[in-house]
């Protein structure tokens, strides 16, 4: 090969490598920008208790439980606490520290950047005759609709579905016995049509055996076509949920 040809080939190769490197740097930059975006978070404290935190840092604690049932409560801090019904494994407000507002009624409530809607339901299939009433809460957080079903015991009516509204992330009891069975739970998921489902209120190694609940696998077996992942914390944002085409069950780990 002539010298001029070799020099031209070397220049061409150098230019190609430079373009490739620029592309890699640009891609890494986009990726880092994505990682830097703010998001809300959901952490499971055991049973039906979660800490939901908005992008601005507003914290909601749902259904705080008595720790003698097996789960050892971490230090819980909140600006808002919600109680779906007055049973000991859902109403232990003394476990929460700080100056917080409490919601334990049906209706609409506004707290800074959070809107909450409470819908009347029942803890059983007999309109509350066996275990009383239950409130389903929908939290409107950073453009995302997070729904906590409490101890729902039945399939939803059309009126209740309309009251609950659009759901992006659904927290659903799946342990049977005290709440709806797993077949009904799967039907309720279809009624509300969320993109993300977080199971709760099921038997784990931490929960005392006397509860007699089913393990989470019993519910997962009903959910054909859903992706299943495990995580310590769920990060969520309006943009990520909007562009996702997957339907995912997120099994949150209990941090002992």
Q: What does the block give as tokens for 31?
A: 């990726």
Same domain, 3 and 120: no
Can you say whether the dihedral through the CA atoms of 191, 195, 200, 202 is positive or negative? positive
Number of structural domains found in the chain = 2
- The three-state (H, E, C) secondary structure of 111-122, written as one string: ECCEEEEEEEEE
Q: Are residues 92 and 170 in the same domain?
A: yes
- For residues 136 and 215, state if they share a domain: yes
44, containing H or E segment:
strand 40-46
Q: Are residues 80 and 147 in the same domain?
A: yes
Write down the pLDDT at residue 22. 33
Residue-number span of the structural domain to which 15 is assigned? 1-36
pLDDT at 37: 57
Alpha-carbon distance 207 to 81, whole Å?
22
Both 31 and 102 in a single domain? no
Tell me the C-alpha distance between 181 and 193, whole Å: 18
pTM of the predicted model as reported, rounded to 2 decimal places: 0.84
Same domain, residue pair 143 and 28: no
Per residue of the chain (256 residues), give pLDDT as tens: 444 443 443 444 343 333 333 333 322 223 333 344 579 999 999 999 999 999 999 999 999 998 889 998 888 999 999 999 988 888 999 999 989 999 999 999 999 889 999 999 999 999 888 888 999 999 999 999 999 999 999 999 999 999 999 999 999 999 998 999 999 999 999 999 999 999 999 999 999 988 889 999 999 999 999 999 999 999 999 999 999 999 999 999 986 6
CATH number at residue 82: 3.60.15.10
- Co-location of 32 and 71 in the same domain: no
């Amino acid at each position: 090969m002539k010298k001029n040809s070799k020099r031209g080939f070397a220049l061409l190769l150098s230019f190609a490598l430079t373009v490739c490197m620029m592309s890699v740097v640009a891609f890494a930059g986009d990726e880092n920008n994505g990682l830097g975006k703010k998001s809300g978070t959901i952490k499971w404290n055991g049973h039906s208790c979660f800490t939901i935190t908005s992008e601005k840092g507003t914290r909601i604690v749902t259904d705080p439980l008595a720790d003698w049932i097996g789960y050892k409560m971490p230090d819980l801090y909140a600006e808002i606490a919600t109680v779906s019904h007055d049973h000991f494994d859902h109403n232990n407000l003394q476990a929460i520290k700080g100056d917080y507002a409490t919601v334990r009624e049906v209706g609409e409530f506004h707290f800074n950047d959070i809107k909450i809607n409470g819908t009347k339901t029942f803890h059983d299939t007999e309109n509350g005759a066996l275990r009383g009433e239950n409130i389903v809460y929908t939290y409107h957080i950073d453009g995302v609709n997070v729904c906590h079903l409490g101890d729902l015991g039945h399939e939803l009516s059309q009126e209740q579905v309309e009251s609950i509204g659009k759901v992006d992330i659904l927290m659903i009891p799946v342990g049977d016995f005290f709440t709806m069975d797993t077949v009904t739970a799967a039907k309720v998921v279809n009624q509300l049509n969320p993109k993300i489902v977080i199971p709760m209120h099921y038997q784990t190694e931490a929960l005392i055996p006397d509860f007699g609940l089913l393990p989470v696998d019993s519910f997962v077996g009903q959910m054909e076509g859903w992706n299943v992942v495990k995580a310590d914390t769920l990060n969520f944002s309006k943009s990520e949920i909007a562009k996702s085409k997957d339907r995912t069950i997120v099994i949150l780990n209990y941090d002992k």
